[in-house]
Amino acid sequence: MMPSANLPTFTLKQVASHSSKKSCYVTLGSKVYDLTEFLPDHPGGDDLILEYAGKDISQIIVDADSHVHSEAAYEILEDCLVGFLSPEDAKKVANGSAAAKNVASAVTNPGPAADAPNYRTGMSSAEELSIPTDYTADFKTHKFIDLNKPMLMQVWRGNFTKEFYLQQVHRPRHYRGGESAPLFGNFLEPLSKTPWWVIPIIWIPCVCFGLNKASEGLSNETVATCFVGGLAIWTFIEYCMHRFLFHLDEWLPDNNNFLTLHFLLHGIHHYLPMDRYRLVMPPTLFIALAIPFWKLAHTIFYMNWYIGTAVYCGGIFGYICYDLTHYFLHHKNLPSYYRELKKYHLQHHFADYENGFGVTSRFWDRIFGTELPPLPQKTA
């Protein structure tokens, strides 16, 4: 593609100077893209983009080991186009990389989509989870929630049928620029947002305190055994809660109050899955769920309070791992095992929310027959 008269040209040196979170440019073929605003929304995490800030991404964008990008990824790139490389530098890039030529051709002349959109979610790839929603057009089309306004009262007063509500809440939207859509629209709003780092800061000291109390009545070996046992029990609780509490869609009463409760508990996450401040459980909600489990642990292990405490601490540590894993699966570049888990979890969001309930592993999905099948591979 020839440089447009409406867009400037850049040298490679100029592009290289935009290599930070405040200004992040990349090149792909002869095109220059400003990904600064997209950084918080990248499904692979902003750290992966920043690794290539100021550089050419022709190799990484087609690297199957990292991630096979869909047509939606190239659509997002085109929205970020800010200019072109100077003819001299464009030749240098093209001559130095065969991938640059192939990708440039694919972006200029995109072929037909490899996968049809899922009829329930309206999406065909993880990248589409990060395409900003046109709030006004979406509300005009679906008559569900206007993201320009606080969401909670719209759900509560919406008089939606259960069928319509579930159809809409499982069609993901995306609020622009890494921000959070308003939920309450009042002084309660901060209570609905939780940065990921709050979880270890609050709960790891509690786990350490509990283990210290347990060690007053148990040997270190027994504490460790109970802790690991509690961690194993958590994996089953994680699966059951995700499947039978967060996704109790089939058994959800057709009532505004229950629909609103469902939206607060998990529906909002499926509606806005890339909202980085609503990916971990707010401490107030966690306390409400944790108290019954404290009583249950000490009821089951009634013969020894210290054993119940150590097992409970193992379960709480499992929850911490779960919440942090969940956040990182949505927003960070991860080692190979977690990259596969990331694809698996995002598939739960954009393709099949009725399966794939494991977040930290697929183990219980395999046991209970809810494992997601591999996505079909794209063919040339």
Sequence spans of domains, the chain: 9-108, 139-368
pLDDT given for residue 113 in this prediction: 44
pLDDT of 150 higher than 50: yes
Other CB atoms within a 10 A radius of the CB of residue 43 amount to 25
Mean pLDDT of 45-62: 83
The answer to whether the annotation marks 298 as part of a ligand binding site is no
Mean of the per-residue pLDDT values of the chain: 87
The answer to whether the annotation marks 348 as part of a ligand binding site is yes
- Tell me if residue 217 falls in helix, strand or coil: coil
The answer to whether the annotation marks 262 as part of a ligand binding site is no
pLDDT grade, residue 144 (50/70/90)?
very high
**Ramachandran category for residue 255: left, alpha or beta (phi over 0 → left; psi -120 to 50 → alpha):** beta
The answer to whether the annotation marks 67 as part of a ligand binding site is no
The answer to whether the annotation marks 170 as part of a ligand binding site is no
Q: What is the DSSP letter of 56?
A: B
pLDDT given for residue 114 in this prediction: 46
User: With contact defined as beta carbons under 8 Å apart, do 128 and 350 qualify?
Assistant: yes
The answer to whether the annotation marks 174 as part of a ligand binding site is no
Task: State pLDDT tens for residues 164-176.
Answer: 999 999 999 999 8
pLDDT of 97 higher than 90: no
Whole-prediction pTM value? 0.77
pLDDT greater at residue 295 or residue 90:
295
Give the DSSP H or E segment for 27.
strand 25-28
pLDDT given for residue 222 in this prediction: 97
User: With contact defined as beta carbons under 8 Å apart, do 274 and 43 qualify?
Assistant: yes
The answer to whether the annotation marks 18 as part of a ligand binding site is no
pLDDT grade, residue 379 (50/70/90)?
very low
The answer to whether the annotation marks 247 as part of a ligand binding site is yes
pLDDT of 4 higher than 60: no
Task: State pLDDT tens for residues 112-140.
Answer: 444 567 877 888 888 889 888 999 999 99
Q: What whole-number distance in Å separates Cα of residue 183 and Cα of residue 194?
A: 13
Lowest mean pLDDT among 53-62, 99-108, 266-275: 99-108
One CATH from 3.10.20.30, 3.10.120.10, 3.40.190.150, 3.20.20.70 for 9-108:
3.10.120.10
pLDDT given for residue 227 in this prediction: 98
pLDDT grade, residue 377 (50/70/90)?
low
Task: State pLDDT tens for residues 205-242.
Answer: 999 999 999 999 999 999 999 999 999 999 999 999 99
Distance between start and end Cα atoms, the chain: 22
pLDDT greater at residue 369 or residue 64:
369
Lowest mean pLDDT among 86-90, 239-243, 339-343, 352-356: 86-90
Q: What whole-number distance in Å separates Cα of residue 378 and Cα of residue 91?
A: 30
